[in-house]
């Protein structure tokens, strides 16, 4: 009897998820086959190029279908709050990217800015764990920026 109830519960749960419209994020379809990326820090630019290579887009140094110029690539870490004893309690991480896209006529479009911010608490007793948390937050911020950039670049004319 328990096995039957468990199967019914799983069936109901499955149909509930299917009916609410939940769908895993699929791969982003690109409207171009080659891209040129200039500017920015080497680590950010290399990661962006890697993302495009993985999705089958050719990386070129000139005469690509899409040309991107990364104008600003800034990472900033600031103290958000202090304890009564003067120890750091929270940090704010900020990642700012500004770039522009060359349109089909060969003119540069307006500057597009993407800003990603995260806050996290800090604890002197767990330094290694907090450093790992910070690293994961920064990677998540980059992933968010990459997704936003890819959708904007893909939809540009």
Q: Over pLDDT 90: what percentage of the chain?
A: 38
Q: What is the pLDDT of residue 5?
A: 82
Q: What is the pLDDT of residue 15?
A: 75
CA–CA dist 68, 35 (Å, integer):
8
For the chain, what is the domain count?
Answer: 1
Tens digit of pLDDT for each residue in 53-102?
988 888 888 888 889 999 999 999 999 998 888 888 999 999 999 999 98
- Give the global pTM: 0.73
Tens digit of pLDDT for each residue in 4-41?
888 888 888 787 777 766 565 555 566 778 889 999 88
Q: Is residue 41 part of a domain?
A: yes
Q: Is residue 20 part of a domain?
A: no
Which residue carries 């004319």 as its tokens? 157
Q: Does 151 have pLDDT greater than 70?
A: yes
What average pLDDT does this structure show over 105-134? 90
Q: Is residue 15 part of a domain?
A: no
Q: What is the pLDDT of residue 27?
A: 56
- The model's confidence at residue 148, banded by pLDDT at 50, 70 and 90, is very high
Q: Is residue 90 part of a domain?
A: yes
Q: What is the pLDDT of residue 118?
A: 93
Q: Are 62 and 108 in contact (CB under 8 A)?
A: no
| CATH number of the domain where residue 83 is located | 3.30.160.150
Q: Is residue 12 part of a domain?
A: no
Residue 39: other Cβ atoms inside 10 A: 15
Expressed as residue numbers, the domain containing 70 is 28-155
CA–CA dist 66, 37 (Å, integer):
9
Q: Is residue 111 part of a domain?
A: yes
Alpha helices in the chain (DSSP H): 2-19, 42-54, 127-155
Of the CA atoms within 13 Å of residue 50, those in its CB half-sphere come to 7
Q: Quote the tokens at residue 77.
A: 């870490």
Q: What is the pLDDT of residue 24?
A: 58
């Amino acid at each position: 009897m328990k096995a039957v109830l468990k199967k019914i519960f799983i069936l109901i749960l499955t149909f509930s998820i299917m009916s609410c419209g939940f769908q895993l994020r699929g791969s982003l379809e690109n409207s171009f086959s080659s891209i040129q990326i200039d500017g920015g820090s080497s680590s950010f630019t290399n990661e962006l190029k890697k993302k495009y290579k993985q999705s089958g887009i050719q990386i070129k140094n000139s005469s690509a279908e899409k040309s991107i110029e990364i104008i600003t690539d800034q990472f900033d870490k600031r103290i958000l709050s202090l304890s009564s004893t003067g120890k750091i309690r929270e940090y704010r991480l900020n990642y700012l990217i500004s770039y522009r896209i060359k349109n089909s006529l060969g003119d540069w479009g307006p500057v597009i800015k993407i800003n990603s911010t995260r806050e996290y608490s800090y604890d002197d007793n767990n330094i290694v764990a907090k450093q790992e948390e910070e690293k994961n937050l920064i990677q998540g911020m980059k992933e968010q920026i990459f997704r936003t950039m890819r959708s904007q670049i893909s939809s540009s004319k």
